[in-house]
Amino acid sequence: MNNDIRRQTEKLLADVSDRTADLVETLAAPFAEPVVRLGVTGLARAGKTVAITSIIQNLLNQGGLPLLSAMGSGRILGAHLSEQPDLTLPRFAFEDHRDALLGDPSRWPESTSSISQFRLTLRYRSAAWVKRAMGGDSLLHIDIVDYPGEWLLDLPLMTLDFQTWSRQVFAATEQEPRRGLAQDWLAATREADLNAKWDERDAQRLHQTYAEYLRQCRYATRVKLSMLQPGRFLMPGDLAGSPALTFAPLPLRPGQALKNGSLAAGMAKRFEDYKHLIVWRFFKEHFSRIDRQLVLVDLLGAAEGGNIAITELQEAMISVLKAFKPGQNSWLGPLLHGKRVERILFAATKADHLPTSQHDELKRLLTSLLNEAQSRSAVAGARTSVMALAGLRTTAPATATLDGHTVDCVSGIPTDSDTVEAVYPGKLPRDLVDLKNLAPGDLEILSFKPPASMEEIRPFPHINLDRALEELLGDLLQ
């Protein structure tokens, strides 16, 4: 009880501090240069690092974003890298990621597994003549906040206690492929004495076997599962090895009393500490301050896994959406109800792995997948949109003959090859029901190497990146 009172008191004091800071920021806003915080997230392998690198590269090297209206009309006069405002956050390693893509041979950059930030400043000419006459050229600071989508999956844990969460985790192992992947962890759990005195080594063993089970769910099966909590077990960032992460779910009965000082009681306490020290702090310090949000979704990867993978992806995205507080910001908004995300764009990534003729189907399927969650966001006031996207285009259109018929293909260099090949990925269904009923092998979504002929002075090739930036930032550049 004392710990609960302490947590509530700390949260109350932090909330008061946050609201005071928000009020100061709100009052100072009219006298400061405009800043927009653009959050970019996605589950592992959604292409987040490449997308952010391409956004920065294409804004710095004008000409590759014609559908960003301010650039297409020639009103963007320049862009430059700026020192980020929060010096305690790691800087997004743009130069390293760009150099990897421009190397000889080119290679994919290392994925980011923690939060980072990057500030890019645009100088532009306003479309409004009154604004031009009064102030000349305008500036917009874009703070890109890069964070793992896995961390968002932890926000729903805030409403659960340890026993409820544990029951949900164990219930999920009753069907394949989780049942087979969980065998080692379940065996270790059966051998544990839940009433034994707390021992850090026992807790570490259970945590390690559970974390390995989560890794197997993500990487060791064709079925790409998404509902993997806690997300920090997969993407620990700078908390790797921390006691705050040293816990695991246990097979507890509803309402079971936990013996003081026992393994079970210790795990329950760690779970509560994790929610308070890690999840709530991330929400308070970073997530709650985002203005616009880009969510990257690897729908094609999930489609290869069939019904289970699609269903889990849908549950993950609904959980992610529940974390947002959508709605249009007003000057009193941060003070009265917390800052709200004004625009959310869901992008089905790796559109370059499909022929152009299937991009509409990819967008339609993502719209169907998120329809219920989108409607909830729209009611709350946020502008929510969907599109197909490729941060870096790795293929070109091609055709081939299949069973006597000409089919649309993509042409590129597969990751396990050194030569250009025309690839027919299969045909995406037109609705979500048929997508869930795909059999393994109906779709063949290959991975490709980065284009080999890019030069640093050129913008990166992409699909719909300019449309995405227009949707997220276009109104701020008017």
pLDDT higher than 90, residue 34: yes
CB 163 within 8 A of CB 254: yes
User: Would you give the distance in Å from CA 123 to the centre of its chain?
Assistant: 28
pLDDT given for residue 20 in this prediction? 47
Of 374 and 206, the structure prediction assigns the larger pLDDT to 206
Section 61-75 average pLDDT? 93
Where do the domains of the chain lie?
33-147+286-392+461-477, 158-271
pLDDT given for residue 153 in this prediction? 86
pLDDT higher than 80, residue 16: no
pLDDT band at 58 (very low <50, low <70, confident <90, very high): very high
pTM: 0.87
Least confident range of 20-29, 225-234, 299-308: 20-29
CATH topology of domain 33-147+286-392+461-477: Rossmann fold (3.40.50)
pLDDT higher than 50, residue 4: yes
Of 91 and 84, the structure prediction assigns the larger pLDDT to 91
pLDDT higher than 50, residue 31: no
pLDDT band at 244 (very low <50, low <70, confident <90, very high): very high
* CA separation for the pair 360, 387 (Å, rounded): 8
Which among 66, 119, 46 is positioned nearest to 89, based on CA atoms? 119
pLDDT given for residue 134 in this prediction? 63
Amino acid type, 211 = A
Which among 125, 240, 50 is positioned nearest to 478, based on CA atoms? 125
Q: How far is CA 173 from CA 90, 155, 170, 299, in A?
A: 37, 22, 5, 23
pLDDT given for residue 311 in this prediction? 85
pLDDT given for residue 315 in this prediction? 83
pLDDT tens sequence across 316-346:
887 777 777 655 555 445 544 556 788 999 9
* CA separation for the pair 99, 103 (Å, rounded): 6
